[in-house]
Chains A and B, each alone.
Chain A
Amino acid sequence: AQKITQTQPGMFVQEKEAVTLDCTYDTSDQSYGLFWYKQPSSGEMIFLIYQGSYDEQNATEGRYSLNFQKARKSANLVISASQLGDSAMYFCAMRGLYSGAGSYQLTFGKGTKLSVIP
């Protein structure tokens, strides 16, 4: 079974500062993928960034980067230069190679609510 843990229910960050959202995971799969999604108040889940378990480099996408520490089983999201529009719920998710009999099912954490302060 796979499990995602996000220990920060809520976070505050000053505009233009960087913020790290924590995510730890547990899996017995050797090959897996880690995802971060953003959910604004409108409800849509917006894909932000992906990290494969065999990727040697940390993933980056614009202001988003993923701090992947495989031995610690952590996949923290770093948002640089926070903007007011970054205020939202953020979900960490993982997909095992053979989870759900090939369904590529995603297992989600409970999320972190980020509030950016002007």
Chain B
Amino acid sequence: DGGITQSPKYLFRKEGQNVTLSCEQNLNHDAMYWYRQDPGQGLRLIYYSQIVNDFQKGDIAEGYSVSREKKESFPLTVTSAQKNPTAFYLCASRARGGLTDTQYFGPGTRLTVL
């Protein structure tokens, strides 16, 4: 089945450590996105990529890094520079063009800093 997978589902990190969240899609979508969701809040954009080997900062990119070496994969690294990384992280992808340009989401990764 086509879809978006994120791993791990739950992630625990000690302060000062970098961690990488995985996002893979087999929808053949060109664009991919990373969002952060805090309790009681909507989603905020961290980074996005419209094509391989290219990505752009979103509204809250500080303390995060990404890469896009393959069309299917868009991993997010939460660095030690991120002051408050505990949150729910959602990855999304979108087909280029199309009438609605709808973004489809993965199941999310819940990151907790101990």
Verify if B86 is at the interface (C-beta below 8 Å from A).
no
* Total A-B Cβ pairs within 8 A: 67
| CB atoms of A104 and B104 under 8 A apart | no
Contacting residues of chain A (23-64) with chain B, CB-CB under 8 angstroms: 33, 35, 37, 42-47, 50, 52
| A47 CB → nearest B CB, Å | 6
* A contact residues, range: 20 to 34
B82 to nearest A CB, angstroms?
A: 20
Shortest C-beta distance, B92 to chain A (Å), equals 8
A-B contact pairs, 30 of them (CB 8 A): A33-B100, A33-B101, A35-B103, A42-B107, A43-B90, A44-B106, A45-B90, A46-B105, A47-B103, A47-B105, A52-B99, A93-B42, A93-B43, A100-B45, A100-B48, A100-B56, A100-B58, A101-B56, A102-B50, A103-B45, A103-B56, A104-B101, A105-B33, A105-B45, A105-B48, A106-B43, A106-B103, A108-B43, A111-B40, A111-B41
Closest 9 CB pairs of A and B: A108-B42, A45-B105, A43-B108, A50-B100, A44-B107, A108-B43, A110-B42, A104-B101, A103-B48
